[in-house]
Structure 1
Amino acid sequence: MTALQVLVVLHLTAAAADAQTFQGGNCPQPSVQEDFNVTKYMGTWYEIEKLPAVFERGKCNQATYSPLTDGTVSVHNSELLSNGKITSIEGVAKVQNSTQPAILGVSFFKGVPDAPYWVLSTDYQSYALVYSCSDYLGFFHIDFAWILARTRVLTEDVIGKLHERLASAGVNTNCLTVTDQTGCDVMT
């Protein structure tokens, strides 16, 4: 085995062990929300479902977006761990191309490249569908998806439509997991 093959196998094994979703080949290129208005998107969103993510281990997951004076967006993600502790992380999101404002990059650590954050669909008042995907040397990709809501619940009808939207984009919806949004009073 070459060093590159060993690296790929190790990375795939680590990703699988952490319940990440990875697929062969390059990332799908789903269409994003047309005429996305980042100002309307501001505020708090609660995670309803997601593709597994190693960096999310708790429940009551939520994200709050706020405008910054330089035109970027403050991102505050938080969750409740099983030991009762609230953990959070701060980041910054920025529109990557003004002609496609629904395609943002998010950074939580200086010196680390921005992670993709694509808003595929939102009505701004009740739901949002977000997708992120990173290619690895053309051999495979790791993707993330989040179904978000302005409240801690979302109707099955809306969730079903968002599943269909993800599936039509080539995302494996069978891997989506429901986020526990019960007992979250300590988060407010």
Structure 2
Amino acid sequence: MYGSIDLGVSARSVLALCVVLASTSAQTYRWGACPTPKVQPNFNLQQYLGKWYEIAKLPASFERGKCIEANYAIRPDGTIRVLNSQFYKDKVRTAEGTAVVQDLREPARIGVSFSYFTPYSPYWILSTDYSSVAVVYSCTDILRIFHVEFAWILGRSRFLPDETLRYAQDLLLREGVDLFRMTATDQTGCGDN
């Protein structure tokens, strides 16, 4: 009897959580477990390092500004320094995190954390030519009932040609990522256009 009470309370808690999350617009939630898209074969981390500009993204509560960019560099301990910046509420705001290659057999599946207290979140490079565009995906399962997903289209410059942007969007669609909520990132008036 005690076990069934806990199960009922847990089920109600999960249902309540689902309702709250479904009504939140700053993330992208979908039912079911995370998909497992293919990642960049023969990924070369050294070529990926450096500055990338955010061209488009699925909603992310931690990215609300404009002129969003990320800079990746190897630290002396072998981890990857991730420095994200954005212009938000009249100021440049930065966040520094750490990324690690969690399995050397799949170096395009990276884990990223922005706090000592949080586990590494997936950061999967689905495709990149290293010199102009990268397509990145992240997904976290919540009890295998639903998942939270992010996707980014990044460029080495603040603007991508239309055909490059279409290529990146098509790749995400082929991997089952719903782009209905994807929005372009404002990269105008950033000081170095």
Same topology, TM > 0.5: yes
| Category of TM-score, reference length = shorter chain | over 0.9
Corresponding residue to 2:76 among 47, 65, 69: 69
Q: How much has 1:164 moved relative to structure 2?
A: 1.0
Give the Cα separation in 2 of the matches to 1:16 and 1:39.
Answer: 40
1:112 and 2:118 aligned: yes
Corresponding residue to 1:172 among 159, 178, 185: 178
Give the TM-score normalised by the residue count of structure 1: 0.94
Percent of counterpart pairs with the same letter? 46
Give the Cα separation in 1 of the matches to 2:19 and 2:116.
Answer: 26
- State the partner residue of 1:98: 104
1:46 and 2:50 aligned: no
Summarize the Cα distance change of 1:12–1:76 in structure 2 as closer, same or farther, 3 Å threshold.
farther
- State the partner residue of 1:28: 35
Give the Cα separation in 1 of the matches to 2:82 and 2:16.
Answer: 33
Corresponding residue to 1:139 among 141, 145, 166: 145
Give the Cα separation in 2 of the matches to 1:116 and 1:8.
Answer: 25
1:157 and 2:174 aligned: no
SS in 2 for 1:76: strand
> Do the aligned partners of 2:47 and 2:130 also contact (CA within 8 Å) in 1?
yes
Q: How many residues align?
A: 186
Give the 4+ runs in structure 1 shifted more than 3 A. Answer: none
Give the Cα separation in 2 of the matches to 1:76 and 1:88.
Answer: 7
- State the partner residue of 1:84: 90
Q: Which runs of 5+ in 2 are unaligned?
A: 1-7
Q: Which runs of 5+ in 1 are unaligned?
A: none
- Deviations 1:17-71, CA, capped at 9 Å, x for gaps: 2331111000010000000000001110000000000111111110000111122
SS in 2 for 1:9: helix
Summarize the Cα distance change of 1:38–1:8 in structure 2 as closer, same or farther, 3 Å threshold.
farther
SS in 1 for 2:135: strand
- Deviations 1:133-178, CA, capped at 9 Å, x for gaps: 0000010001000000000000111111111111111100121110
Q: How much has 1:15 moved relative to structure 2?
A: 5.5
Letter in 2 for 1:109: S
Bigger-Rg structure (1/2):
2
C-alpha RMSD of matched pairs (Å): 1.6
- State the partner residue of 2:5: none
> Do the aligned partners of 2:21 and 2:29 also contact (CA within 8 Å) in 1?
no
Give the Cα separation in 1 of the matches to 2:142 and 2:58.
Answer: 18
SS in 2 for 1:173: coil
Letter in 2 for 1:136: I
SS in 1 for 2:81: strand
